[in-house]
C-alpha cells in the first residue's frame, strides 16, 4: 500500500483548483442563491462536526469558511467558487444548535429549498 504523497498532492490539478476557492455569497433563502450552473459540492451533516473546518482544510485556507466550536454557527448557506462552473457549498448543520427552534426551522426550510430547487 502506498503512502499519501503530500508533495504530489500539492502539485495536482485538483489541489490547485481547490486552493483558488473564493467566497461568493451567503443566502438565507433561494432568492439569494447564485445562478445554478455547473457542479456544486455541498458539505452537509450534523451541527459542529467540522463541515466548515473541512472546507478550509481542503482549500488550504484557514479563513475561507467561518469555523467555530459553537454548534449552530453556520446559519446561512455559504457559496464558494472554484471556477465559473464549480462551487463548494457550506450548509448549516442538523441537530443540536444554540438557537431557538424557529431559527432551526428556517434553516431546515432553506436547506430543503437548496437541495430541491
Residue 21 DSSP class:
-
- What pLDDT score was predicted for residue 117? 80
- What pLDDT score was predicted for residue 72? 65
**Residue 46 φ/ψ, nearest 5 degrees:** -65, 160
* Cα 42 to Cα 115: distance, rounded to the nearest angstrom: 9
CATH class of the 23-116 domain in this structure: alpha beta
Read off the pTM. 0.86
Could you read off the pLDDT of 10-59 as tens digits, one per residue? 888 999 999 999 999 999 999 999 998 999 999 998 888 889 999 999 99
* pLDDT classification of 108: cutoffs 50, 70, 90: confident
Q: Where are the domains of the chain?
A: 23-116
Amino acid at each position: 500500500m502506498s503512502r499519501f504523497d503530500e508533495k504530489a498532492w500539492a502539485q495536482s490539478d485538483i489541489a490547485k483548483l481547490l486552493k483558488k476557492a473564493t467566497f461568493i455569497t451567503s443566502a438565507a433563502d433561494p432568492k439569494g442563491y447564485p445562478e445554478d450552473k455547473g457542479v456544486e459540492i455541498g458539505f452537509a451533516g450534523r451541527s459542529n462536526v467540522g463541515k466548515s473546518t473541512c472546507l478550509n482544510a481542503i482549500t488550504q485556507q484557514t479563513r475561507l469558511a467561518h469555523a467555530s466550536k459553537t454548534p449552530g454557527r453556520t446559519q446561512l448557506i455559504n457559496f464558494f467558487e472554484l471556477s465559473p462552473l464549480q462551487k463548494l457549498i457550506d450548509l448549516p448543520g442538523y441537530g443540536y444548535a444554540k438557537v431557538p427552534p424557529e431559527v432551526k426551522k428556517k434553516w431546515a426550510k432553506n436547506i430543503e429549498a437548496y437541495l430541491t430547487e
